[in-house]
Amino acid sequence: MKKNRKNLALLLLAASLLAGCAGQSNSQSSQSSQAKSEKKAESKASSKSAAKSAASSAASSTKSSSSQASSKSAASSSQRADANRMGTLTSQLRVKLPGMLLPATDGLGQGSSNLNIRYTSSSSQNVVYYSVGNSPLALNDSRIASEKPYAVLTEKKNVADASSLINYQEPKTGLPAVKIASNVTGTEEGAAGSTYLQFNQGQWSFVVRASNVQGQKPLPTAQKLLALYQQYGLPDTAAKSSVQVDVGESLGSLNTVITWAKGSSVYQLKAHSTETAFKMLKSLS
């Protein structure tokens, strides 16, 4: 009897242990299933977030590209409009001043949209004034006369002695030499409170004047002048011609003076900026 009770107790204990293991296994299985479900949900959320981010980035990139394209298009249209204004005014000038050499480029870095041109003409000379105003005006509008020209182009016609107008300077000797570039040397001399630095290239003489009173030095300007000549060149001329530059650039100063002969005419371009003058002459026709 006692033996049967002992066996029964052992059976009950074994059953209890099996039930506990089964419950623990089910719990672990449930936890594992829940973890897998949560991980799957997190993966889906992450994928959705990445897709949304990629879509947003693509939209932003498309918008940026569209904005850049629009800006470039606007800038290009503005440049075309500026060029067209110079072209339109020059075409009108060619009708009024037939045979005169005229630049096709205004030489400006900015302000082309408000470019204005006026001219005077007689039997002996033509003079064209280039200026930038507050608004674009018609060719020879009377209001342009009150604007300071940034460049003035003059043609003197039927000239008997071009040399008297051109003021070409022969190379100097016996003066201090100044090295302007590795293969270009000029000469320097002082007179009347100024220092003059001269160099010659082909048919052209170049003279830079600096004010001693203002503490100016001619060499930096001479170096810039030589670089512009090498970059843009100057009009073709069979006669000896000249470039004269006063140090210092300011609106209306017209400190750059370039004079040359073409046929029986003598041309002279005065400009407030040396670079502007060279750009205009490069497009001369």
Tokens of residue 211, six digits = 């004010």
Q: In what order do the strands lie in the sheet with 177-181?
A: 115-121, 125-132, 149-156, 265-271, 256-262, 241-246, 204-211, 194-201, 184-191, 177-181
| Residue 187 · residue 176 · CB < 8 Å | yes
Is the confidence at residue 103, as pLDDT, over 70? yes
The pLDDT-based confidence of 249 (bands split at 50, 70, 90) is: confident
Average pLDDT estimate for 8-31: 44
Computed over every residue of the chain, the mean pLDDT equals 81
Inter-axis angle of helices 219-232 and 274-282, to 10 degrees?
10
Biggest alpha carbon–alpha carbon distance for the chain: 156
Amino acid letter for position 186: G
pLDDT in tens, 168-222: 999 999 999 999 999 999 999 998 899 999 999 999 999 999 999 999 999 999 9
Specify the pLDDT at position 17: 40
Tokens of residue 94, six digits = 């060619």
Q: Is this prediction's pTM over 0.95? A: no
Tell me the three state secondary structure of residue 199: strand
The closest of 230, 235, 246, 261 to 168, measured between CA atoms, is: 261
